[in-house]
Chains A and B, each alone.
Chain A
Amino acid sequence: MNVLIDIAGAGILAYSAVTVPRNARKARALRAEAKAKAPVNIDPAKYGLVPAAQLDSRFAGPDPEADAVAQAALAGDWRRAAAYLAGAGRDWDLRWYRLGILTHAAAEDDTWLKAWRTEYPGDPAAALVHADALVDLAGKVRGAKLAKHTTAEQFEGFHRLLAEALPACQEAAWMAPEDPCPWIAQISIALGLGWSHDDFRALWAEITARDPHHFGAHISALQYWCAKWRGSHELMYAFAEQAAVTAPQGSLLPVLRLYGLMEHAFREPKEPVYRQPFVQAAVDATLDAVEWAPAGHHRLPMVRHLLAEALFQTDRYAEAVEQFRAVGGYVGSPPWSYSANPVKAFVFARTNTFVAWEKAGCPAPPPRGRALGY
């Protein structure tokens, strides 16, 4: 019996000699891993940032006038909306931007729009809002998910509304021959109905004939050339490059390349998208464009959001800090709106940027060609 006890004791000793250090090692590694995974938290107030709970995920930036107009329209005051749209004059991109505000309201509730159209049946602006609202509504009915997550019923409504929207757009275009907006509205129809490249190029020719460097049109058309719609990564980059190169000074179009990078990274999260050779130059060009743009330009907030993400991804924290400070408390813009939880995505990028920036000793951003105070 003694032999048995000896053997058992020796076995237990040998077993523990092997396993105890091994388990300790594993536990240490796990703790380190958990620590690395734990969210980094900073106190936003310390850096003068808006806390996560107060971030506004509806808009890209502040625009009190637009909010007031939309509210008035929903309350039935369509005259203010008409004046707001007319106030854009021949700045076609501003008109497109303001149209978006009205369209959004009309897709929610179109009572005011019906009143407007009843009173002025021949008003090209009202026809334009009606047409674009149909497109917007179609998108809402479909939902923003990929095709495989969209039901047959959603697709049926989507296609029916798009089929209604196309003649509406054509009518609006016929009523206002100079205005590119009714044509730009058709880009979304082209996406939804899967127009061929040739058909799309014909549409694009109509738009560029009216405004060759229209910012909103380029943003929409970039979607068409994306891999997720009718194009590919190559076509998308080529389109963005062409637009950025030919854009006049002061145009914000260089940001298209960053938009394309974001699309690419979103579709293929594992690829080193931001390590491509042209990225640094594209970021620099966008920074320059932002400096050239007048303060308060209606596209600046969205450009800054895209720029902040690109700077964060390329580890240019000092410049990213500036952009994050400039966008303030709004997160309703790409790239964050692509995420299921935009606020979380935004706060993640912002927090890590500030932590990395502080680690590097809070350096000042490198000087640019033309200094502008923010």
Chain B
Amino acid sequence: MRLTSRPAGRAAAGETAVRERGVPGTPLRAALVLGLLLGFYVLALLLLVALAVLDVFLARDGSFTLMAVEGYLGSLAIAWCVVRVVLLSRGPGDGQDEVPGVSPAPQEQPELWRRVRDLAERVGTRPPTEIRVIPGANAMVREDARWLGLAAGERRLFLGVALLIGLPDDELDAVLAHELGHYAHDDTRLGGLLWALHGRLLHTTHTLRQRAAREEAEEQARAAARAARRRAAGKPPPVKREPTRGPDHYLALVFSGYARLCLRLTEAVSRRQEYAADLVAARIAGRDTTAAALRRIPVLDAADDLYLREYALMGRDAGLLPPEGQFHGGLALLLADPARRADLEAWARGPLPEVVPEERSPYDSHPPTADRIAVLEALPDDGRAATLPRRPALALLREPERLLARLERAVLSRETLSWRRVPWAELPAQTRRESWAREAGPLLGAMAQAAGARGAAASGATHLDHLGRVDHLDHHDHHDHHDHLGRLLDLVDHGLLYDIAGRLPRSEQAGRSSGRAARESARTAFRSALRQLALLTALDTGLCRWELCWSGPPLRAVAPVQFTEALEEALDHAVADPPGTGPLRALLSGGVRAPTASWAGPRTAPSAASRPTRPPAQPPASSGGLYPKDPV
């Protein structure tokens, strides 16, 4: 009963013919579902009866032959499978699974509730008793009906937060009217029953297949063990036999056939229900608005996916989260970006994807969105154009930030919630910093060891003692990286490069080499780690900035012109023989200056606490203004 959750593109062939026949009435549908559920058990009993009849037929012959014994044993085995799997095993539980989300009470969100109740009145049905805001771009309704769906029960409406954020309020009306239309047509009454049927079927076929696979694997293991025994005894390998399949395999075939039949029947009905609910939505919200909502939802769904993957979870490796309430709410920022908005609008208005006939499946619970829009657009014009100006549906919510924060707490795991919250503007830089610090960590460790060893050996070299003081490496202390890099380069200048590089963890391949080749491998490893440390320093000193970009790839680096090339060259010099650390020092300390060019996107104010104060430095003569560039 979702409005939609998948891109258009699959559905049953000949849908139009089905559509004209309309939706069967509730009693008829209840009888269908109930019949199918009973049919499942009847099928199992039929199998048992057939086996019993076979046995009686065998026994009637009177003569007690080898064939008859085999027959009895075989029928017993099959009967046991049927009883064990089909009748005795418990399903995954009778209740439908809970969807994590937040259910605001009517007094908390009066506007939203009022809107839903108004719409329910206009549709002509009883309003839900619970509205639950869930993640994603989905809407669905449920009803905990009693008496096998013949008596009404408690109604619940599930509303995806992406719909609230991304839809204008008249289109949200269309979505709500569609869902309430399902109530009005009593489509939800049979939800529990349907759920029980599907669960039963799924569980049975799944168990049978699992048992069949296990049996096959066991037989193969036995055959392998036998072959191994024969090999050990010096005998030729046993004759290859076709694997014999147990009764589970054949039972699985029978029951999956039945499951396919059930799905075909019930999903055909639910597809027709979607068309009927669309008609309700068109009546309440207007034809064009409903069609627009249908077009927009797949786009929103994709945008929400992208947003969660690329933005909300940007710091997952570093253990960072956007600010409270922004994990889902940040989608609004993405949608507010002009470039993104233009992209998404063009997509929503663009031609609908062709529905390939092979992709239509008789098992889909929803008709393809393209078909639904086509049906809506074939309706007579109701003269109701989209109302302007349009308000975002989020305006229906009172204190949306609190609701979004509650949603986060309900949806995210305890571990994720323990991650550090970072303002959006700092999220990219912090994420980078964490990963670079992790990669540069072994280098700092090796440097401390090497400096310590050298300091102990070289008596009187006081400056080396000082260099050896890299005792505690706190990666979050930004002052340290610059100092660490300086000290590391000092050590390199003192000819300790190979000493440090030799202490870095070695790859398996490098471990096998020796002599000069081993030294070169160590130098390569040293250079990559030094690169991470240099980038970290560039980030900390403000030479490079990592900015959040809502319109394109989420991360955008702002670095001086030619920074990447200059860095690679400077690194080459630093690891050369003899080492020249001058270029790297100059590159990382010379380019610090205030930005001269304005840049797109939200201006990120660096928090004073997180950045070291530094004297204003002269820009090097060679570099121009800031230039968006990816130094990685």
Contacts and interface: CB of A to CB of B under 8 A. Distances in A.
A153 B64 contact: no
A161 B507 contact: no
A62 interface: no
A23 B516 CA distance: 60
Interface stretch (B27-35, B287-295, B434-442, B519-527): B519-527
B516 A153 contact: no
B524 A141 contact: yes
B507 A157 contact: no
Contact of A3 (B65, B509, B510, B528): B65
Contacts, number: 65
B520 A7 contact: no
Interface residues of A, number: 28
A143 B509 contact: yes
Nearest to B67: A7
B520 A137 contact: yes
Given A153-B525, A157-B520, A26 B509 contact: no
Contact of A109 (B66, B513, B516): B516
Contacts of B527: 156, 160
Contacts of A161: 520
A364 interface: no
Nearest to B507: A153
Contact of A141 (B235, B236, B521, B572): B521
Contacts of B65: 3-4, 7
B515 interface: yes
Contacts of B513: 140-141
A178 interface: no
A7 B64 CA distance: 12
Contacts of A110: 516
B516 A160 contact: no
B53 interface: no
Contact of A151 (B509, B515, B572): B509
> Binding site of A, secondary structure by majority: helix, strand, loop or mixed?
helix
B517 interface: yes
A194 B64 CA distance: 81
B239 interface: yes
Given A153-B528, A156-B528, A4 B66 contact: yes
Interface in A73-115: 106-110
Interface string A136-147: 010011010000
B236 A26 contact: yes
B63 interface: yes
B64 A4 contact: yes
Given A3-B63, A4-B64, A153-B528, A30 B236 contact: yes
A108 B516 CA distance: 5
Interface in B479-535: 507, 509-510, 513, 515-517, 520-521, 523-525, 527-528
A68 interface: no
A314 interface: no
A265 interface: no
Contacts of A193: none
Contacts of B64: 4
A8 interface: yes
Contact of B509 (A7, A107, A108, A153): A153
B446 to A, nearest CB: 16
A27 interface: yes
B520 A141 contact: yes
A5 to B, nearest CB: 10
Top-3 shortest CB links A-B: A157-B524, A140-B517, A30-B236
10 contacts: A3-B65, A23-B239, A107-B516, A109-B515, A137-B520, A151-B507, A153-B507, A156-B524, A156-B528, A161-B520
Given A107-B516, A137-B520, A153-B509, 4 more contacts: A108-B516, A140-B517, A141-B520, A153-B521
Interface of B: 63-66, 235-237, 239, 507, 509-510, 513, 515-517, 520-521, 523-525, 527-528, 572
Interface of A: 3-4, 7-8, 11, 19, 22-23, 26-27, 30-31, 106-110, 137, 140-141, 143, 151, 153-154, 156-157, 160-161
